[in-house]
Every structure is written in C-alpha cells, then in structure tokens.
Amino acid sequence: MPRVTTRTAPRRWRRLVGILLAGALLAIVLREIVNSSTYQLFGDYVARLDTTDRVVALTFDDGPDPVQTPMMLDLLDRHGVKATFFMMGRNVERHPQVVRQVLARGHEVGNHSYSHPKLIFMWPSAVREEIERTDRALRDSGATGDIPFRPPHAAKFVVLPYVLLQLGKTSVLGDVDPEEWKRPGAEMMTASVLKQVRAGSILGFHDPMGEDTRRAVDAVVTRLVADGYAFETMSVFLRRRGQRSDAPSAAPR
C-alpha cells in the first residue's frame, strides 16, 4: 500500500496542476474575449472598416456633458469634421439640449447604455432595458434612423450580443484607443493614436474627459487631415461596409 501511494501521489499532483493551469488559461482567454475592443463572439459588429481608402471614424463616449461636449463641438466645427457621439441614457435625460445641439451641428448619436454598467453581469431583460431606455431618450431628443450601440467598458460575452441580435442593432467597437483613463496627457495620447491609426480605423475618445482629450483630438485631426484622411460618421461607415458583400464584420488588428 505505501508503494501505491507514492506512485499515485505525483500523478494526482500533476493532474491537479494541469487542471489549474488549464483553468487559468481559459480564464485569460475568456477575459480577452469579453474585453476585446476589436472582437465579439457573434452578431453584427464592426471594429474597423476593411478598406484601403483613407477614411476614419471619430467617435466619443460617455456624454453628453453640458460643458465639455459643446467645447468639443466647437473644436470639430473649426476642423469641419463630423463625429459620432455614443451617449449614456441618463445623461441624455439630464441634458437633452446638448443632444439637440450635437444633431443640429451635423453629427450623429449612438447608444452607450443607460447607466454604463458591465452588461455581461446582467439578465437579458435588464440589458434590453438599458438599451431601449437610452434609445427612447435619444429619440425624444431628436435622433432618427438606426441608432448603433457601443458596449460600456467594451465588455460583452454572450448575453449582450444575443440581445443586440434580437434588437437588430450593430455593435460598434474600435481599433484605436488613446487610453484616456490612464491620464497620459495630450502629447502621449496623440502619439499613441497616430501610431495605431490606419485606413478604416474607428477612433474612440471621451468628450467629457476635458482639455487633454480636446488637445489630443485637435492634434490628431490636424495631422490626419494633412495626411489625406477624411472623417466619416458611423452611418457612412456602415453603408460603406454594406456595399461590400465580402467585407468582414470586424478586422482585428
């Protein structure tokens, strides 16, 4: 009996270590899938336009903000550039006049959920309410046509894509992230964006983040226009994609 124990114990430990390593690897893979800004398991989504044309989409999240959003609009007006603003429903309800100002200046609006939760931890009915309540608020503020959706925190797994599929909504991700949450400063954000950007990129900023973000946007737009890039709204991007039946929904970097 002692011999049997000494022979089987190492195998048991190896099996346990193997299970733990496999579990850790699976957790890492799932985390990447859930938080990826360029990939979604299923449903209609776009992270970058598959094109050689020098076009990009400039997008903003988390507004509208009664102070910061109009200042960003002034900057975009100076450049003659149009963007897409993915708005939180609770902010839309608080500041509908800012939504109307965004639309009046020729920009587009999208849905960024009502309260900005991580939607992977919610029931389908709650996820649907987050989306539909925001759509209602946007339409009450003047939005028309299809309203694209962007996942808060870029978090999605199974429930959110399922709900979006039921609602017939496109999930807008992005392949250029300045990582404003790290507060790197305008110069570093500018350098990071210009390093990442390419034809068909979707750039994701946050208009409520303030002066550093505006300075970075100013510098990025100036440079890209000088390099021959044009800026398009998401509706134009999605129409371009629809004109190519062979274009994938997303093109991971």
Q: Is 216 left (phi over 0), alpha (psi -120 to 50) or beta?
A: alpha
Q: Does 21 score more than 60 pLDDT?
A: no
Helix (H, G, I), strand (E, B) or coil at 185: coil
Q: Does 41 score more than 80 pLDDT?
A: no
Helix (H, G, I), strand (E, B) or coil at 53: coil
What pLDDT band is residue 228 in, cutting at 50, 70 and 90?
very high
Q: Does 35 score more than 50 pLDDT?
A: yes
What pLDDT band is residue 247 in, cutting at 50, 70 and 90?
very low
What pLDDT band is residue 152 in, cutting at 50, 70 and 90?
very high
Q: Does 73 score more than 80 pLDDT?
A: yes
Q: Does 29 score more than 70 pLDDT?
A: no
Helix (H, G, I), strand (E, B) or coil at 204: strand
More confident residue, 74 or 4: 74
Buried b / exposed e along 143-153 (16+ C-beta atoms within 10 A): beeebbbbbbe
Phi and psi for 137 in degrees, rounded to 5? Answer: -65, -40
Q: What is the pLDDT of residue 37?
A: 59
Lowest pLDDT segment from 16-25, 73-82, 111-120:
16-25
Q: What is the pLDDT of residue 173?
A: 95
Q: What is the mean pLDDT of residues 48-69?
A: 97
Nearest to 134 by CA among 169, 161, 183, 186: 169
What residues are annotated to the active site?
61, 206
More confident residue, 162 or 41: 162
Average pLDDT score over the chain: 87
What pLDDT band is residue 105 in, cutting at 50, 70 and 90?
very high
